Structure formats: C-alpha cells, structure tokens
Amino acid sequence: MKRNMGNIDSWIRLIIGAILFGLGVFSVVGWAKWVLVVVGAILVLTSLFNYCPLYSLLKISTYKKKE
C-alpha cells in the first residue's frame, strides 16, 4: 500500500472517525448504531494506515512528498 493521505487529511479522519465510533458505541441505538460504528472504524483505520482505497480508485492523493 502506497501512502495517499496527507497529515491534515489523516488527522481530520481520525477525529471524525473517533467521534462517530464513540457515538455509535455509547449513545445511539438500533441500526444507526452499527452504521456509525462501521463508518467510524473505517475512518480511523484509513487514518492509521495513511491509505484510502477510494482515493486509489479515483486517483486522488493528498500526500505531499518532501523533496
């Protein structure tokens, strides 16, 4: 996996993913709980790996190499 996410993108995903995951686990009930947990987990994992499969499909990269 080649890195395709920049630091700002990664941090935003981590924060939003953690919030969604927390809402799903601690406050929402029903089917919406599982939607929030899954979406939050996906955002957190993509943030930790600095790789987004959707970015690869769309040929997008927010990662800037230092030269």
pLDDT in tens, 2-18: 899 999 999 999 999 99
49: in domain: no
pLDDT in tens, 10-55: 999 999 999 999 999 999 899 999 999 999 999 999 999 999 999 9
> In terms of residue numbers, what domain contains 8?
1-31
DSSP string of the chain?
------HHHHHHHHHHHHHHHHHHHHT--THHHHHHHHHHHHHHHHHHHT--HHHHHHT--------
55: in domain: no
Task: Give me the half-sphere count of Cα atoms (radius 13 Å) on the Cβ side of residue 37.
Answer: 11
Domain count, the chain: 1
